[in-house]
Chain A
Amino acid sequence: MRKILIVGNPNVGKSTLFNSLTKSNEHTGNFHGVTVSEKSKVINIENEKIELVDLPGMYSLNSFSFEEEVAKNVLLAQDCERVVLVDANSMKRNLYLCLQMMELKINFKIFINNYDYFFKNGNEINSKKLSEKLGVDCQIINAKKIKSSLELFERKNNNYYLPYLSKYINKIKEKYNLGEQKIILALNGDFSNLEIDQKNYIKAFLPNLIKDRYNYLNNIISTSINVKNNYIYGLNKSDKIVLNPIIMLLGFLITFFVGIYLIFFLIGPFLSGVFETILTRFLFVPIINLLCGITDNVWLIEFFENAVFGGVLTIISFVPQVCLLFAFLTLLEDSGLIARMAFVFDDFLSFFGLNGKAVYLMLLGLGCNTMSSMASRNMPEKNLRVKTAILNPYISCFARLPVFVLIASVFFLKFSFWVVCGLYLLGLLVLLFMSFILNKTILKTERAGLLIEFPPLRKIDIKHVLKEAEKNGLDLVKRIFTIVLSVGIIVWILTHTTFSFGFTQNITESILFFIADKLTWLFAPLGLNSTGIVSSLFVGIMAKELIVSTMSICNNTSSTIALQQSLLLSTSVVNFSFASAVSFLIFSLLYCPCISNLAVIKKETESFFMWFSVLSQFTIAYMLSFFVYQSLTKGFAFGIISCFVVALIFFAIVLLTKKIKHPKCLTCNKCKN
């Protein structure tokens, strides 16, 4: 089977091309570093199977960040065909990567994208002449509208000669006995298996080599590309307004708050209500009625009503809100505003040990923390990468949305909007605080160079926005019918089964009650001493959506309204007072990343940081919830004092575990001192 890699500079439209050719819906955005890992799909063109692989963007083979390293490794290691996608508006820079591939004698084709914009500005590319001069086949395409055909991927051998290269190879050969391929690899940033003096000797040639490459490209471009209008790609007239920090900050805050209001309190609840009514009336009620007609087994009916439909329904009603949230995030991503926000907020974020790129990760985290932790690999420095990967879970993801909306609308009524906004803000503040602390202690970061290419501000493609919303909505539906449903069934069985494997409707006799009851003492100081709440939080570690579905199963409810009403009843298994509701909101916002996020943190960093993330988040969530609950129930002063005592206890535990780590403590001089 033929395998074709799509390579190129960041933000030239590789994922868009991949989506058009494979009819997929992979994540795309108007910002560099959106794709951080390779994605592949097999397509069938005229009865021939071709595997297309979309690689993260890279400016050159001399990789600068981890995602560039990933792309480079795939590009150089695999024996397959390559297509280099270049942007017509910055040909010289895009062709630089092509030139490096030519030096390594890699066979490839060039597709030129974004030509419309280039042509509109009065410029022209003679693709035939460019192909002749480069010795590589060049085609002008439109990545959005292209259709796959065998002709498109027709194999053509490259035929080129790079006059500037031989002098460097000869000079290096004169000094060291190295093979030509090894020298060329080294000239392209791969110094593996070279001694230090060899490495330094070759490195000294690089500045001149880069200049020679650009001189060579200048000669080619001057004869094949007609640039009448010298404009700066990426810079718009409106940037004079957009890049003003005050306008940007105000604009962002207004957009964010209006977005939250529309998503969670105006359009979202309306759509959710309609969605839930339709599902209840036309799907769940008829099925339950049918079941009641067939059997009178209470156990079976309750199982379907509560475990299957109850848990699913309370979450599925939030699908429209999640779709709106992702549509909002796609609007921001596609507009090109994120690069501008990164530039404007870089100063502020660098004070906390982050850099402007973190803005993109935070916005991505509003959708899914796992995705944003993975995207941290486009950070240029290791400590910065680790920091962003482990701190991203403080940003509230879509899965926590049902918890906030559900509890806030019951206990805060008119103020629920401000409570949800406050929770998002609290997550951000804790993230900045933790970043500041980490920057001063274990993850010190020198001010890392912010090197971001500005993409042009683009008109919003509504089709793409709707597609992204649909894709993420469907993803959530899939999760609901797999993870939420299966875990819901397990939770229901645990809440309705006794240790003697008998069916019980009294939850206090159930297995789950027995297990959760052993942990309630830990959460009692936070006002969360109900077994149902403890179970929800515990199950929520798997996926945050499960918190609400578990509460619904524990309270034996089968709709969102019924669940909301049950939360106020002291007879319910899960019930809250005002103070415990606030404490619960804070705790569920901060307490632990979900399992998939932890797996990504471990993969992107190391297991130490995964455990650090779990422990630090739990400690902060516990302290804050404790402080708020104690302040609300016993007064502010008591809250502060008790918080101080808890901090001391935690500190003592940390010291104790440190001692345990050194069993030779009594004899070790270091520990004795």
Chain B
Amino acid sequence: MNLFNAKLNAKCVVKSIEIEDEKTKFRLMELGLIEGEVVTVIKRSLMKKTLLISFNSSCFTINETEARRVMVEYA
């Protein structure tokens, strides 16, 4: 399952990050979105193009394209 499809407010564990753009991939990882990290989708924007997620005790926005490339499992 990818992060985009995860239920709202459900705790998920990151399994892998398959984002093609290396710059974005490394940035997300450096912010703490690494394998084993617990991530929660807090809110989806109106058109569902942007997600508000929380990980590493902070809150970040992420785009649909990138969210679909973050593989997760429910915790």
Contact = CB atoms under 8 A, between A and B. Distances in A.
Given A92-B57, A233-B59, A343 B50 contact: yes
Interface in B9-59: 17, 21-24, 26-32, 34-35, 42-43, 45-47, 49-50, 52, 54, 56-59
A461 interface: no
A232 B42 CA distance: 11
A74 B34 CA distance: 29
Given A210-B29, A211-B35, A90 B58 contact: yes
A412 interface: no
Contact of B63 (A214, A243, A342, A449): A449
Nearest to B16: A207
A59 B46 CA distance: 29
Select the residue from A89, A356, A449 with max chain B CB neighbours within 10 A. Answer: A449
Nearest to A96: B30
Contacts of A343: 43, 45, 50, 52, 61
A235 interface: yes
Interface stretch (A344-352, A517-525, A610-618): A344-352
Contacts of B28: 451
Interface string A437-479: 0000000000101111110000000000000000000000000
A96 B29 CA distance: 11
B61 A454 contact: yes
Contact of A454 (B29, B30, B60): B60
Contacts of A356: 50, 61
B65 interface: yes
B23 A64 contact: yes
A454 B52 contact: yes
Interface residues on B, range: 20 to 34
Contacts of B58: 90, 93, 232-234, 453-454
A60 interface: yes
Contacts of A450: 50, 61-63
A182 interface: no
B30 A210 contact: yes
A62 B30 contact: yes
A92 B61 contact: no
B72 to A, nearest CB: 16
Nearest to A211: B34
A617 B37 CA distance: 49
Interface of B: 17, 21-24, 26-32, 34-35, 42-43, 45-47, 49-50, 52, 54, 56-63, 65-66
